[in-house]
Structure 1
Amino acid sequence: MLDPHAALPFAAAVHPLARPAQRLTWDSREASPEVAFVALPGEKMHGNRFVEAALAAGAPFVLTDLDVERAVRVPDAQRALFDWARHERANNQLVVGITGSAGKTTAKSYVAAALDAHFMPVFNTLPAIACFLIELGGSHKPLVVEMGIDRVGEMAELVDLVRPDVGVITTIGATHLETLGTVENVAFEKGHILRDVSGQPLRGSPGALVGAQAAAYFSGTPTYGFGDATFAGKDLHVTPEGATFTFAGQTVSLPHAATVQAEAAVLGLALAQAAGLPLNEAAERMAAVQVPGGRYRVYPGRYTVIDDAYNASPIAVTAALDALSGFPGRRVSVLGRMLELGETERALHAEVGAYGRAKADVTYGVGAFAAELGERAYRTVPELLAALLADTQDGDVILVKASRGISWTPEQRAAEGVGLDTVVGALLAGQEEKG
């Protein structure tokens, strides 16, 4: 339970009716008798406008500068939240921070399983991470924190908040170029995770790690993966049923996994080994990992659906296409628009489309760059879906991947070729009907 008096070092006063909570939220719609509300500044309005609604919903306390019932009063709620998070995080002996242009959530899932750790849910913003650290920073388990950025300076802010003992970069590629400009800038900004708050390289075993793909950007930093990596898995075999390999003599089997998942498992085992945990137990936990929907989830049946539709960037799409190419049967790629690629977006879509044509037997594209992405190009998602469902055959293996466009309306997503989870849903429904 979160005692509101725990915030007293950062608060002016705690209302006598304030009571402990199980969780924190900055979204007043989630406030309840178990969930306290933090009134943060927003892009359009301040959370103070929703304090009364949170109290009416039964929030045990509210972190705010307002003089209201059940208030934990502070001059600045955001600063107080972050200071409270740093205080709680200091109680934990091992915090792993993970970033990268692709594969963050996958790596987080496997590392958390290997370490038997608490891990961040889907959200990876500063407020979400702060709430996570407050809720779980006092636990005896390690913490695994996904740290995504989309602007200059954000990773430095995240490092100051999380202060990871181990910093990991999975991959470096063309992501968020509208704000970060170049891939080199992406590498520079994400590279802050490999250093402590004073800017010095993380020390310890292993301290800082990068995936083999990202090694060229971080000379001298220990690597993980296969081949000549510092922490290397051996004898990797990937089939439609999954991936197997060995690490330090331990055999690992990952159902329905591809190379990306195997690399994440190597990372998990390297960190488990450094923490002194039994590798056989870590391998067992990783074999049971279920990544969140949309992140390379394989659904076998009369035809196989690979749901990788949560998000997309050039490096993530090419990795998914590599995995698709290893399946038997007719391989079908269904690709939509990749967002935030800046002035080079058409060229990058064309490169990905060419790669898709080399890896898949049938290629579909949808949205603004449909023709670049697939030989069968459709302007909108409904048009694509009608053609795809009519053409699907037993034995096909169908990969679905695009950016989310999470802030767009369903109509905008359909028109722009993003948010292809609707395509996955229709395919799975059709799979059940055929079955």
Structure 2
Amino acid sequence: MIPIDINQAAEFSGGKLIGENKVITCITTDSRAAAENSLFVAVKGDKFDGHDFIEKAWENGAECVLSEKEFIVPHGKSLILVENTRKALLDLAEGYRSLFNIPVVSVTGSVGKTTTKDIIAGVLSQKYNVHKTKGNFNNDIGVPITIFSLENEHTAAVVEMGMNHSGEIDVLAKAVKPDVGVITNIGVSHIENLGSREGILKAKCEMFPYIGKDGYAVLNGDDDMLCKIRGFEHTYGLSNNAKIIWYGTDNEFDIWASDIEPMGLEGIKCTINTPKGSFEAMISVPGVHMVYNAMAAAAVGIIQDMDLESIKKGIESFMPTGMRMEKFNLFDGAVLIDDSYNANPVSTKAAIDVLASCKGHKCAILGDMFELGEYAEKMHFDIGEYAAEKEINELIAIGEISANIFNGAKTAGLDNKKYYKTVEEFLNSGYKPRGTVLIKASHSMHFSEIAEYIKKF
């Protein structure tokens, strides 16, 4: 981060400064990372309280701590007293963001946030020195940390924003102040907390009021929920003269894809059409959903007045991050598709589509998808039916809720199927992979253990 003084940090966070005013060059929520010239923010979590580590942070070299509680401040050190450290962290990030006059893109949506963020960053990097969210650090701690990592040399930023309750995008977008806001789609992730897809749509649209004057919203026009915004922009909070760039597969959209040609596990080819002209792109990751991610990135490139060759180069340079449609070659021509980072019904069906396009024996190893509330049983059952309809040869369901995947496959007539209650039970089953194997489940199912097991073959 660029240096700021503690007085400025107190002003940004709305806190009371106790102690000396010095310069800080690092803001952290991890007391172990607190070092000379750092500010330690004592946030509270479900299983921890940063206030328990304040004295350790000072010992490690922190110049200042941001706290909800008063402490005896060591000589030469400082404390900023606030009512709520999590809110103050966001306020501090908002203040730090105001020091930068660069294009900032925010990305949210039910599915594809991280991949879309990475492709957008790849496109913008053809013109800018881009700072982007690491991994999927997209919550009320990860977003501020991303903002604090901005340096003078950065000329653009791409920030991922996640949520599982209403009001969360609102506070994140207030800190990010995006010039361009991208929503990939509205699925069913976190429907347990938000009640309905309409509730999810409204929660995602909390970003709109914070898009800068003359900024842009980039929206998936093929999404049956996002298209409801048309004609009701003000109802969903889009004002401030912000414009909408729609993308999809219909030529009525600003950015649209045609000639979509799956290339097996090598990826997918398409033509992306823009107001500046058209270009053919080969995306190195399979799945029609990747075309949508590429279109969103192309839209951002067009907004930033980039030439088509640079946009194409940025899209084609994309490589997936860990456990997201990663391909591993095994023995005897077998292949593992590791898509185990996370799962929801939309992304799981997309992954099954990729598996279905492969030749030879096709095996899907699927696990529980969480935060679906009262819809959980039916949505897991539907996944089992879908796998059968797509003529997957072998299905293995793992997890308590995934018994419904097994039952759905059974009802739809899939013969080769098995069910295991736990990952451990599966790992002890003697399974040997053949053909193409897909693994996918919610992150907390720990399917990474299955990936490591299969990669040994």
TM-score, with length taken from structure 1:
0.86
Distance 2:33 2:387 in 1: 41
Is 1:219 paired with 2:230? yes
Q: Which residue of 2 aligns with 1:294?
A: 323
The 5 Å alignment of 1:368-407 reads: 368-374=400-406, 375-387=417-429, 390-393=431-434, 396-405=435-444
CA distance, structure 2, for counterparts of residue 2 and residue 62 of structure 1: 18
Question: For 1:289, what is the secondary structure of its paired residue?
Answer: coil
Structure 1 residues 207 and 29, CA gap change in structure 2 (3 angstroms): same
Q: Structure 2 matches for 1:19-30, cutoff 5 A?
A: 20-21=24-25, 23-30=26-33
**Correspondence 1:56 to 2:71:** no
| Residue 89 of structure 2: aligned partner | 81
Q: How many residues align?
A: 410
- Amino acid across the alignment from 1:376: K
For structure 2, list consecutive stretches of 5 or more residues without a partner in the other structure: 232-243, 407-416
Structure 1: runs of 5+ lacking an equivalent: 406-417, 431-435
Query: Contact 1:353–1:372 (CA<8 Å) still a contact in 2?
Result: yes
Match of 1:39 in 2: 42
Following superposition, the deviation at residue 130 of structure 1 comes to 1.5
1:71 is matched by which residue type in structure 2? S
**1:392/1:140 Cα in 2 relative to 1: closer, same or farther (>3 Å)?**
closer
Is structure 2 residue 236 aligned with structure 1 residue 207?
A: no
SS in structure 2 of the partner of residue 179 of structure 1:
helix
Q: Which moved more, 1:307-316 or 1:44-53?
A: 44-53
- C-alpha deviation, 1:402, in angstroms: 0.6
Cα RMSD of the aligned pairs, angstroms, is: 2.6
Structure 1, residues 105-142: CA drift from partner, whole Å, max 9, x if none?
Answer: 11111011111221112211112211221321755422
Residues 368, 398 of structure 2: 8 Å contact kept: yes
Partner residue of 2:269 out of 244, 248, 252: 244
Residue of 122, 125, 131 corresponding to 2:139? 125
Alpha carbons 2:268, 2:284 under 8 Å: kept: yes
**Which residue of structure 2 aligns with residue 94 of structure 1?**
103
**CA distances 1:216-256 after superposition (whole Å, capped 9, x unpaired):** 44335542233344311222222121122222322222223
Quote the Cα distance in structure 1 between the aligned partners of 2:105 and 2:282. 24
Cα contact 1:366–1:381 (8 A) shared by 2: yes
Moved more, 360-369 or 3-12: 3-12
| Structure 1 residues 38 and 232: CA distance shift in structure 2, 3 A | same
My pick for the range that moved more, 236-245 or 313-322, is 236-245
In 2 relative to 1, CA 307–24 (structure 1 residues): closer, same or farther, beyond 3 Å?
farther
Whole-Å Cα distance in 2 between the matches of residues 212 and 35 of structure 1? Answer: 46
Q: Distance in 2 between matches of 1:355 and 1:139?
A: 48
- Give, in whole Å, the separation in 2 of the partners of 1:178 and 1:207: 27
User: How many Å separate the matches in 1 of 2:261 and 2:43?
Assistant: 48
2:197 aligned with 1:192: no
Q: Distance in 1 between matches of 2:343 and 2:117?
A: 18
Q: CA deviation at 1:44?
A: 5.4
Which of 160, 182, 207 aligns to 2:196? It is 182
Question: What letter is aligned with 2:157?
Answer: L
Q: Deviations over 1:62-108 (max 9, x none)?
A: 33354534335243444443233212223233221111111111111
What is residue 240 of structure 2 aligned with on the other side? none
Structure 1 contact 74–80 (Cα < 8 Å) conserved: no
Shift of 1:147: 1.0
Deviates more, 1:335-344 or 1:235-244: 235-244
Q: Is the CA contact (8 Å cut-off) linking 2:287 and 2:350 kept in structure 1?
A: no
SS in 2 for 1:59: coil
State whether structure 2 residue 154 is matched by structure 1 residue 163: no
Structure 2 counterpart SS, 1:376: strand
| Contact 2:133 2:146 (C-alpha < 8 Å) held by counterparts | yes
Any idea what the Cα deviations from partners look like across 1:172-207, whole Å, max 9, x if unmatched? 1211122111122111211222x214xxx8764643
| Pair 1:31–1:425, CA change in 2 (3 A) | farther
